[in-house]
Structure 1
Amino acid sequence: MRELKGLTVANDMTEKTLQRVQELEARGITPMLATVRVGANPGDIAYENGLLERAEKNGIDSEQIVLPENITQEDLLAEIDKLNQDPGVDGVLIFRPLPKQIDEEAVCRALDPKKDVDGITPGSMAGVFMGSEKGFPPCTAAACIQMLDYYGIDLNGKNVTVFGRSLVVGKPVAMMAMDRNATVTICHSRTTPEMLRDAGRKADVVIAAVGRADFLTRDLTGEDQIILDVGINDDGAGGICGDVDQEAASAAAAVTPVPGGVGSVTTAILMDHVVTAAARSALQKK
């Protein structure tokens, strides 16, 4: 069983991103990422700190927008509008979930798709489903495809089974796989056990994005498959584990580890999106 390690992919992407940033800086352009955090959730703060550190390493400027937990819908939308109108901001990342008093869908709709580097707006989703460059795909879904590309795994003519149908991973990664001429099956909570087994066993590539520890067991997989494990779950012992159990992982031809797999690439994808947004903005102004 071969491990498809994400750090190798992320480091390769970082080198390329730095080169792109240097090319933009030579033209007087410095990419800018703005983060919007409501409240002080420890998980959000930890991720934000890592994100800002990665931005600095990539030569990307950053701005933190920290708002009170009890902010009103109107005030939050006003902050989003300011960022939309700010020509110095290329990409915006909004930490979710938002507090209960906030209509999260309305916030996602309010963000300009051109600055939606995490793929949360309807405009970005439309871009994914239409195969256009409007907005950006969700970073985790894009990280799956990036890993396959890096390790030379061609999806052309392959059977791909996606476990999970979220807008964060399942649906967009299915569309992106079809763009590479794969035949895709999506399984979800209402898929019958018999259909789950059939879809899992026949696949050349399996993408597990359910969010349940050890969901993908050996009886749901075939022989010599490529398995991308997108799950990040509490393993009950103070660590994290993926959606794929050890027996299924061991039988695969190649698998992404958790931790150290797809998640390692997600932030690198975000940085790439910010730089792309800056380049698109500069081209539009020109």
Structure 2
Amino acid sequence: MPLILNGKELSETIKKELKLEVESYISKGLRKPALAVILVGSDPASKVYVRRKKESCEYVGISSLSFNLPESTTEVELLELIGKLNGDDDVDGILVQLPLPSHINTQRVIEAINPEKDVDGFHPLNMGKLATGKDDGIIPCTPLGIWIMLKHYRIETFKKDVVVVGASNIVGKPMSLLFLKNEEATVTVCHKNTKNLKDHTQKADILVVAVGKPKLITDDMVKENSVVIDVGINRLEDGKIVGDVDFDNVKDKVSAITPVPGGVGPMTVVSLLINTLSIYRKKHGFSPHPLTEI
């Protein structure tokens, strides 16, 4: 049996630790950390994600400021709200839930957020810091969550061959940069135009898959005793949630694997809390959060 990388269990453990941490700040007379979450429109999946984030914030003691805006909200109105939150010293982090309605320029919105409050880590300044190996940027939540999971389960990355399938700014690119940091691993990034995907994935000691295609990775595409990180969340017609990896057939071939659900997803949410607290700590003269150390 492979090692099941239980993100749900690990995230609950971390949240309990974060709760105690926040309580220690309050006991010193400091204000509560605060995260502003902006939702534009009524996308069902986005509403679920925002609710989960709000519940997690409330559990650990972070004030969650919700801004639920109608679909008709203009780009100018959204940018004005972001500007106000940028200037509010009592707001530590700002998160704009994606995707945004088609009439709003997503990149323009991301770049409008103060990079020091950019809990998602998507601002070009934070992405640039990650690309150049600087330690004072904010790391995107899903890659950070995966990294924390790898460290927790003592999965060695040094000198490993890593293949990342998916080249998005949200997961694929920043994930590959984390593995490259300090020349930890040799990284191959694959995407929709990669020829003979199987030739690449079969060589991976660590395989990270984030494309949003159900059961894309089959057992013949993975290396014996490799580590598989499945970021995909796909809902089938029967309502079942599956990942990008054919879990049932792949699990007996690998040494470790994340389940879907219950793997990477919960780690993404807990990383949002960690990033918020890291921003809060810096603002109050503390060092960055230790869980963000790469």
Matching residue of 1:241: 242
Matching residue of 1:55: 57
Q: Does the 8 A contact of 1:117 with 1:135 survive in 2?
A: no
Matching residue of 1:162: 164
Matching residue of 1:250: 252
Q: Does the 8 A contact of 1:163 with 1:210 survive in 2?
A: yes
Rounded Cα–Cα distance in structure 1 between residues aligned with 2:163 and 2:212: 16
- Deviation per CA, 1:254-277, whole angstroms, max 9, x where unpaired? 100000101111111100111111
Q: TM-score, normalised by structure 1?
A: 0.94
Matching residue of 2:23: 22
Matching residue of 1:177: 179
Matching residue of 2:113: 111
- Match of 1:21, SS state, is helix
**Which residue among 268, 271, 274 is the counterpart of 1:272?**
274
Q: Which runs of 4+ in 1 moved over 4 A?
A: none
- What code does the residue aligned with 2:81 have? E
Rounded Cα–Cα distance in structure 2 between residues aligned with 1:82 and 1:134: 24
**Which residue among 37, 43, 46 is the counterpart of 2:45?**
43
Q: Does the 8 A contact of 1:20 with 1:275 survive in 2?
A: no
Size of the alignment, in residue pairs? 282
> Offset at 1:27?
4.4
- Match of 2:177, SS state, is helix
Rounded Cα–Cα distance in structure 1 between residues aligned with 2:97 and 2:235: 21
Matching residue of 2:193: 190
Matching residue of 1:70: 72
- What code does the residue aligned with 1:10 have? S
Q: Which moved more, 1:42-51 or 1:273-282?
A: 42-51
- What code does the residue aligned with 1:7 have? K
- Match of 2:280, SS state, is helix
Q: Does the 8 A contact of 1:197 with 1:220 survive in 2?
A: yes
- What code does the residue aligned with 1:276 have? S
> Offset at 1:131?
2.3
Q: Does the 8 A contact of 1:24 with 1:279 survive in 2?
A: no
Listed as ranges, the gaps of 5+ residues in structure 2 are 287-294
> Offset at 1:126?
1.2
> Offset at 1:283?
2.0
Q: TM-score, normalised by structure 2?
A: 0.92
Q: Does the 8 A contact of 1:33 with 1:60 survive in 2?
A: yes
**Aligned-CA RMSD value:** 1.5
Rounded Cα–Cα distance in structure 2 between residues aligned with 1:132 and 1:46: 34
Q: Does the 8 A contact of 1:144 with 1:262 survive in 2?
A: yes
Distance 1:137 1:163, change over 3 A: same
Rounded Cα–Cα distance in structure 2 between residues aligned with 1:124 and 1:12: 28
- What code does the residue aligned with 2:191 have? H
Q: What percent identity do the matched residue pairs reach? A: 36
> Offset at 1:99?
1.2
> Offset at 1:134?
4.1
Rounded Cα–Cα distance in structure 2 between residues aligned with 1:267 and 1:100: 25
- Deviation per CA, 1:209-232, whole angstroms, max 9, x where unpaired? 111001111222110011001100
Rounded Cα–Cα distance in structure 2 between residues aligned with 1:132 and 1:40: 37
1:204 aligns with 2:208: no
Listed as ranges, the gaps of 5+ residues in structure 1 are none
Rounded Cα–Cα distance in structure 2 between residues aligned with 1:56 and 1:253: 36
Distance 1:133 1:81, change over 3 A: farther
Q: Which moved more, 1:105-114 or 1:132-141?
A: 132-141
- Match of 1:100, SS state, is coil
Matching residue of 2:219: 218
Q: Does the 8 A contact of 1:160 with 1:184 survive in 2?
A: yes
> Offset at 1:67?
1.6
Q: Which moved more, 1:152-161 or 1:122-131?
A: 122-131
